[in-house]
Structure 1
C-alpha cells in the first residue's frame, strides 16, 4: 500500500493514502481500494455525520472539538474549514445531520443538547433538568450526560435525546425550555437508574427501540408517555455490558446490536424474543463503536479494537446480514481502533474515525465512488506568489524618525520630551508599586485642596507668648485705667484663711 505525495504533518494538517492494493479486497461491492486520511483531531473520533448530499462532514472527538469539512472547498491538504468547541471541556458523544441537511444536533458529556446550522453557528440550546428532583418526569430536561441524539424520520422539527439518567426525551426544535414527551426506563432491581446507552426510531416513527445498562433491549410506543414497553428482551447482552450502537435494516424488521461483550447480534422485531444470529470475538475498546447496515442492505459493518498481542490496529469488518459470517475486512494501518463508521449511499464512500490517534479515514473506489473526498484529492493547493512570500514587512515607529521628534534627543534624559505620553492612572488594586484608585477618587482629588499639616495647639499659642509680654495689647492696658483691680494669678480658693484657735 503506497501513500500519496503529501507527507505526514502535525495534527493540524492531513495527509492522504492512495493506490491501495486491490488484492486486499476481492469483493467489488466494498469501496475500500483507496483511502485518504484527515488528521485534525488529537484524540478518539467518537462520532461522524454526513449531510444527505454527501458534501459536508462533521466530526466530533474526545478533544472537545467539532470539525467541519467541506469536500468541494477542500484541496489535497484536507483541512477543515471550521473548528468549534461547543461544550467547553466535555467530550463529544454524538452528532446527527437533519434530513434536509441544513442543521445538525450535537450530544456531549453535558446534559444539554445543542442545535447548529451547517456552518457551525449555534441555533438553539435546550433546557437542563433539576438534578435534585427524584421524579424525572417533572424535570424540564436531562440531569446526566447524553449518550445519543437523533432526528424524527418524518417530522423535521422533532428529535430525541438519550441519557445516562435513564430517560429518552423528545423535543421540538422551536421549544427550548422543556421536552414534549418522555420515556422513563425503570430499572429492575436495586439500581436507582437504568442508563440508556443507545436508541433509535423505526421508519414509520410508531415505535422506539432502547438499549439500557442492564443488558436489555426494549421496544416502546411513541404515543403519549408510555410507562411500559411493548416488548422487552431481558439480558439481550451480558448484564453490565454496554450496548454501544443499534442499527435497523432497510426492511425495518432486522435489528443489529453491538455491545462491549465483544458481540454483534441480530434480532427480528416481529419475534422479539431471541437473537437470529450471534457473532462473537469482535473486541472493542470504546463505548461509541458503531454497527451499520450497508446501503444495499446485504451486509453489516462494524469496527474492532486493536490487537495488543499481535500489535495490530483495528479492523473494519464486513459481515453477512443473514449469518454474520465475515465476508471481507479492511485493516487499519495505524495501531488504532475503528470506532465511528459511515457508509454514504449517494457517493458510495466509507468514512470511519479511529480511537486514540484522532485520525479520520475515508475509503473509496475510483470507479464506483463519486464526488465526496475525490473532489479534494484532485484539487491541488493554491501556489503562493514567491515575491509576496519572501517579502518581509517593515514596521516603522514615527517617533523613531528625526523629522517627527519635537527636540533633538538628549542621552542624559530618558523619554522623548514633549512627545512622552503621561502614565495613565492605575485602576483596581494597583501593581508595580503604584496604588490603584477608582474614578471617584481621582475626580475628588482634583477638586479638593490638600489639607494643611496638623499642628499642636499648645505650640501654636506659645509662639505668641513673648510678643504678648513685650507688646501687650488686650489685657494689660485694661488694668492701667485703675477702674479694674488686677486679678492675681492665684486662685481665690487657694488663699490661706486665718486660723481660728
Structure 2
C-alpha cells in the first residue's frame, strides 16, 4: 500500500457534564460511523468517564497494569514509583506505596510479568531492578564495565536503560535496551551476568547508536529494534546474533527518537511512534516499506506511548501542540488501516500532552499519564469492567486533620519595636551582657531538608527541635580542663593502666624548673 500523509482533522466528541461532576462523552460523531450505521458498543473507545490518579509531581514516564487489571504501577520524572490497587481505593485515589529505588534517576520503563507476581523497572541508571508484587526489591542486576570496548565482554549495560520487556514464552526471562547500543537478555535468578547480548552497529561513522525501543515477537524468535539513527531492524533470538534478518534505513528521521513499538493482535502488524511527529504502520511479513504513514502528530517526550485497541480497530497515541500554537494535549484515535483520525479527546490543562499510555484488553480501559503528573484512567460504564470503576463507586471517608501552616512567620520577642526603643537608651553595655542580648534578637535557623549544604547536615523537624532543646556544651569547655578534672581521681584510684605496671614501672623523673638561675643550679650541684 502506498504511503498516505494525512493532515490532522480531529473530530471532537460531544461533551456533557454528569450529575456527579464527571466528564462524559455522549456520542462520537464521524463520517465513518454514519456510513457504517454506528459503532459496535464493545469496539467504541471507552472514554465516557474518567478518574484522575494525582500523586506524582512531574511527568509520568512509565505505566503498566498487571494481566488481571487489579494493580497499576507508575513511574515518573520525580524519580518515584507508585503502586495503585483498584480494589482497595476509594474516590480519593491514593497509591498504597511510593518509593524511589534508583535515587535521583528518572524512571524509564516498567513491566509486569505474565503472572503479575513481580515487575521489573528501568531508569536512567545502567542496571534494572526486580520487585515483587508489593514493591519489595528482589534482585539488583549487574552493571557493565565502561572501559571494555567490546560490549559482549561486559556483564551488563554501561549506559542508561531505555526500554525493557518480558520474554513472551519464558516467564523467568526479560530483556533490556540501553543507550550503549545493546539489547540484553536476563535471567531473574542470575543477577551477575546476562544470558544473551545483541550489539547494534551504527550505519554511520558514529562510535555507537542508542537503542530507543525493542519489542520481542509473541513466539520469542525475533526481536524488533529501533535506534536513533532512524533504522528499524529485526534480529533473531537464535542462531547468529551479529547480523539482523532485516533492516530498514530511514524508517524514521535520523536523530529522532522512537518512543514506542507495539504489535497488533494479528501478530504481523507493527506500529512505530517517533519524535519526528509521525506514526507508521509496518507489515513484518514484507518488511520493506510502511503500509501507512501519518504525519502532523507532534510530541515532546521520548516516552510518548502508542497502543492498539483490544478489537484491533484503532491505534491511540498522545499529541502535544506546538509551543507557538498553545492549547492542550489530546488523545488521538487513528484507524488501523489508514491511520485517519476517528476520534479525539482533549486533555484540559496538559499543554505538553499525554506521555505514557496503555489500553488494557481485559478491562477495556485506557490509562494515560500526563506531563503534569496525573494519570487519567478512561472507562465506559457498559463496555468496561472492574479497574477504575471499583474505586469510583466507593466514597472516600472524611479524614480529620489538624490545621497547620507550612511557612509560619517567626517573630522573636526582643525584635519588637518596644524592646528596640529600650536598646537605644542603653547603647553601652558590658561585653557578656551585650552578647546575651544579641542572642535574644537572633532568628532561629530553619532546618535544612535533603542532603544539606554550606557545611550543615540535613535534619528532620524532630531532630531540629531536639537539637535546640538539648544543648551540646562540649564545644564550650576547654578540652585540657576536661581531662585534668579527672587527674586526681585517676592518681588516687588507678584502674586501667597503673595496676598493670605496679611491679616494674620505674619512678618518673621530670625535668627541673628552667626558670632557676644558672649560677644557683651549678652551686647546688
Same fold per superposition (TM over 0.5): yes
What corresponds to 1:78 in structure 2? 93
Q: The residue matched to 2:88 in structure 1 has which SS?
A: coil
Structure 1 contact 70–81 (Cα < 8 Å) conserved: yes
Shift of 1:311: 2.6
Relative to 1, partners in 2 of residues 1:216 and 1:381: Cα closer, same or farther, differing over 3 Å? same
Question: Which of residues 21, 25, 38 in structure 1 aligns to 2:25?
Answer: 21
1:272-313 per-residue CA deviation (whole Å, 9 max, x = no partner) reads: 111110000000000001111111111111111134344321
Task: State the 1:118 CA deviation.
Answer: 1.2
Structure 1 residue 448 displacement after superposition: 5.2
Question: Where does residue 215 of structure 1 map in the other structure?
Answer: 230
Report the more deviating stretch, 265-274 or 24-33.
24-33
SS at match of 1:432: helix
Asked if the contact 1:246–1:258 (Cα under 8 Å) also holds between the matched residues in 2, the reply is: yes
Q: Counterpart of 1:254?
A: 269
Quick one: which of 449, 456, 465 aligns to 2:513?
Answer: 456
Q: Deviations over 1:317-365 (max 9, x none)?
A: 111111111111211111331111111111111110011x111101011
Which of 37, 52, 55 in structure 2 is aligned with 1:40?
A: 55
Of the three residues 140, 143, 149, the one matched with 1:134 is: 149
Tell me, yes or no, if the aligned pair for 2:16 and 2:26 is still in contact at 8 Å. no
Instruction: Say which is worse superposed, 112-121 or 217-226, in terms of deviation.
Output: 217-226
Residue 365 of structure 2 is matched in structure 1 by 349
Residue 272 of structure 1 corresponds to which residue in structure 2? 287
Matching of residues 78-117 of structure 1 within 5 Å: 78-117=93-132
Write the distance in 2 (CA, Å) between the matches of 1:442 and 1:25.
93
- Distance, in Å, in 1 between the alignment partners of 2:479 and 2:167 is 59
Using the size of structure 2 for normalisation, the TM-score is 0.73
C-alpha distance in 2 between matches for 1:59 and 1:154: 25
SS at 2:312 equivalent: coil
| Distance change (3 Å), C-alpha of 1:377 and 1:223 | same
CA deviation map 1:253-279 (0-9, x unaligned): 111010111000011111111111000
Unmatched 5+ residue regions in structure 1? 7-16, 391-423, 469-501
Which residue does 2:354 correspond to in 1? Answer: 338
Match of 2:380 in 1: 365
C-alpha contact (below 8 Å) 1:25/1:33 kept by paired residues: no
Point out where structure 2 has 5 or more consecutive residues left out of the alignment: 1-14, 31-38, 404-469, 495-507
- The one of 337, 348, 357 aligned to 1:322: 337
Q: Aligned partners of 1:302, 1:465: CA distance in 2, in Å? A: 105
> Which protein, 1 or 2, shows the higher relative CO under an 8 Å CA cutoff with sep ≥ 6?
2
Q: 1:463 to 1:381 in 2, by over 3 A?
A: farther
Distance 1:164-1:432 versus aligned 2 partners, 3 A rule: same
From the CA coordinates, give the structure whose radius of gyration is larger.
Answer: 1
Secondary structure of the structure 2 residue equivalent to 1:285: coil
- Tell me if the contact between 2:350 and 2:370 (Cα under 8 Å) persists in the aligned partners: no
C-alpha separation between the residues in 2 aligned to 1:459 and 1:169?
85
2:476 to 416, 433, 448: 433
Q: Could you list the per-position Cα deviations for residues 109-138 of structure 1 after superposition, in whole angstroms to 9, with x for gaps in the alignment? A: 000100011111101000000011111110
Distance 2:279 2:485 in 1: 74
Of 137, 149, 159, 1:144 maps to 159
Kept after mapping to 2: 8 A contact 1:25/1:32: no
In structure 2, distance between residues paired with 1:67 and 1:299: 29
- Deviation string, structure 1 residues 193-235 (Cα, Å, up to 9, x no partner): 1110000110000100000111000000001551010010011
Aligned to 1:482: none
**Residues 287-306 of structure 1 aligned to structure 2 (within 5 Å):** 287-306=302-321
Answer yes or no: is the 8 Å Cα contact 1:425–1:436 preserved in 2: no
Q: Which residue of 1 aligns with 2:171?
A: 156
Structure 1 SS opposite 2:24:
coil
* Residue 49 of structure 1: aligned partner: 64
Question: Where does residue 182 of structure 2 map in the other structure?
Answer: 167
Counterpart mapping for 1:378-417 below 5 A: 378-383=393-398
CA RMSD of aligned residues (A): 3.4
